[in-house]
Amino acid sequence: MKVAVFSAKKYDRDGFSQWADRSLQFSYHEIRLNKDSVKLAAGCHAVCVFVNDELDAEVLQQLSELGIEMIALRCAGFNNVDLDAAKVLGIRVSRVPAYSPEAVAEHAIGMMLCLNRKLHKAYNRVRDDNFALDGLLGFNLFGKTVGLIGTGRIGLATARILRGFGCQLLCHDIAQNPLIAELGGRYVPLAELYAQSDIISLHCPLTPDTKHIINHYSIGSMKDGVMLINTSRGALIDSKAVIAGLKNRKIGYLGLDVYEQEADLFFENLSEQVIDDEVFKRLLTFPNVLITGHQAFFTKEALQEICQVTSDNLLAFASSTATGNELVN
């Protein structure tokens, strides 16, 4: 089966190389999948896509006309796919539901520690032979209240780590996880989570209900100086509202591994180019903001799991079997 891999990087090629055989023949394209690049899938039976590839109704229609019967997401989120259109067109869609929740959880905790203890600033100071401690004052995580919005696999992994730090856990999710109670956490309404949390970390999927869940109103309900962490999906946060929260000191720390308009920025080296995104550039001006380029998932273990499960999903389609990872079957 021929598979066109979009948004492909060297680590994708390396990862899939061990799975490529007579059953799976991969062709790699660094470009994102959209209505302009969809023609690159011609001659293939399936496409393999990532978080910023565009699979709206128009692109899916074109894929169908090219004979594409399978979309293999190499990620857990699927907000970039029009599942209803895929179902009408008879295109199967699968994903990788859990490719190392610990990888993302550990990155979220790392951002909390880095922002709190200002490790990024301390590193640069010492390199300049500046050993002064002024401006590096942090706080103990022990005893602090952390609000987790979303308690699936990643949220639960984050809760386990935070419990080890001695944090109090407040959680919110439409589906309550019984393991949270075993960690001493409790589920509360969002209003209570906003009002009582010293740190808020987002681990929920992007849906119409969660888009801009962090907005002017919710930020206004938070503690002064709150720390906000997002390693999930960029559009969970209204970026302009967050900028206002930073300016009025309501948000004391902001850690982002994702960004609402990241598709034209992340996963590329733009160091020699002018970035036109004024909102993103404004975020970078704040001394209490830490941004990483969607790397929370990026561990050896996670990449191996992604490639293995994605390949298994493709092979299952080729043999007309199911894996349980199908969103549209």
Is 233 one of the annotated active-site residues of the chain? yes
Element (H, E) at 152: none
Whole-angstrom distance, CA of residue 74 vs CA of residue 91? 16
Is 259 in a helix, a strand, or coil?
A: coil
Catalytic residue among 54, 260, 262, 305: 262
Label the pairing between strands 226-230 and 168-172: unpaired
Helix locations, the chain, DSSP H: 10-17, 57-65, 83-89, 101-117, 119-127, 153-164, 178-182, 190-196, 216-220, 239-247, 278-284, 300-318
Q: What is the DSSP letter of 208?
A: T
Dihedral, CA of residue 90, residue 329, residue 322 and residue 310, to nearest 10: 80
Label the pairing between strands 92-94 and 326-328: antiparallel
Is 294 one of the annotated active-site residues of the chain? yes
Is 262 one of the annotated active-site residues of the chain? yes
Catalytic residue among 32, 92, 294, 305: 294
Residue 292 in tokens:
């990483």
Nearest to 32 by CA among 327, 263, 322, 317: 263
Catalytic residue among 32, 233, 260, 305: 233
Nearest to 15 by CA among 318, 323, 306, 316: 306
Nearest to 2 by CA among 69, 59, 89: 69
CB 85 within 8 A of CB 62: no
CA 322-325-329 angle, to 5 degrees, is 55
Mind telling me the catalytic residues?
233, 262, 294
